């Protein structure tokens, strides 16, 4: 039985290595703005946002990615405004179309559409309210301007969140926000 487990583990490792060899890993850093919209804008102010992404370019058109981002909006309570540490983490996919500048050019423009899902955690500082996490989903639109292995990126994401309030005990409501920013990507 032990020998069978070792053989199975070895085969799975080889299969995973072969699958990874067919993809191109990529890493991204980005910065931008977190912009609450609609009723979410009644509760939070806009703020800066930073983050990083890791992904795999499965082929020229299709990428899978994971994102971790951080923002620090303030609540809009005029009497007792609080800093909120907002943590966004999600996984998704992007579909690219490639425009080559010319046959001799070493750079290309790659517009994309994306979608994904994940979670958002709200941590209100200096408050009795405990950290709270809600489900979120997004759609994205953007472009990469790629030269060799490096690309500059512009992206806008429209997030939908099933928000239960900062304390997590309010009736869940749909809330929306935008994340707009730019960054750098490195394709191995």
pTM of the model: 0.83
Please identify which residue in the block is written with the tokens 């512009």.
Answer: 154
Instruction: Report the pLDDT value the prediction gives residue 133, as an integer from 0 to 100.
Output: 87
Question: Half-sphere exposure of residue 71, counting CA atoms within 13 Å on the CB side?
Answer: 27
Question: Looking at residues 74-101, what average pLDDT do you find?
Answer: 83
Q: Which two tokens stand for residue 171?
A: 């009736």
Tell me the β-bridge partners of 175. 161
CA 60 to chain centre: 20
The H or E element containing residue 45 is none
Structural domains present in the chain? 23-187 (2.40.160.20)
DSSP secondary structure of 43-75: TB--EEEEEEEEEEE-SSSEEEEEEEEEE--BB
Q: Is the pLDDT confidence value at 67 over 50? A: yes
Q: Is the pLDDT confidence value at 80 over 70? A: no
Q: Which two tokens stand for residue 36?
A: 């609450």
What is the tens place of the pLDDT at every residue in 26-62?
A: 999 999 999 999 888 888 999 999 999 988 888 889 9
What is the tens place of the pLDDT at every residue in 105-139?
A: 678 899 999 999 999 998 888 777 778 888 999 99
Instruction: Report the pLDDT value the prediction gives residue 5, as an integer from 0 to 100.
Output: 44
């Amino acid at each position: 039985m032990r020998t069978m487990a070792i053989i199975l583990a070895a085969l799975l490792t080889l299969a995973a290595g072969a699958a990874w060899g067919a993809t191109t890993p990529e890493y991204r850093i980005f910065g931008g703005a977190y912009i609450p919209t609609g009723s979410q804008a009644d509760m939070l102010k806009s703020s800066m946002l930073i983050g990083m992404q890791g992904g795999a370019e499965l082929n020229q058109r299709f990428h899978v990615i994971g994102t971790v981002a951080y923002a620090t909006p303030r609540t809009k309570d005029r009497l007792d405004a609080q800093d909120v540490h907002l943590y966004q983490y999600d996984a998704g996919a992007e579909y690219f179309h490639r425009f080559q500048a010319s046959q001799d050019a070493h750079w290309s423009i790659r517009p994309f559409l994306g979608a994904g899902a994940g979670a958002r955690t709200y941590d209100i500082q200096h408050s009795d309210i405990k950290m709270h996490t809600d489900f979120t989903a997004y759609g994205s639109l953007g472009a990469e301007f790629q030269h060799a292995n490096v690309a500059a990126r512009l992206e806008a994401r429209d997030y939908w969140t099933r928000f239960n309030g900062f304390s997590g005990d309010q009736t869940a409501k749909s809330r929306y926000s935008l994340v707009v920013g730019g960054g750098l990507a490195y394709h191995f």
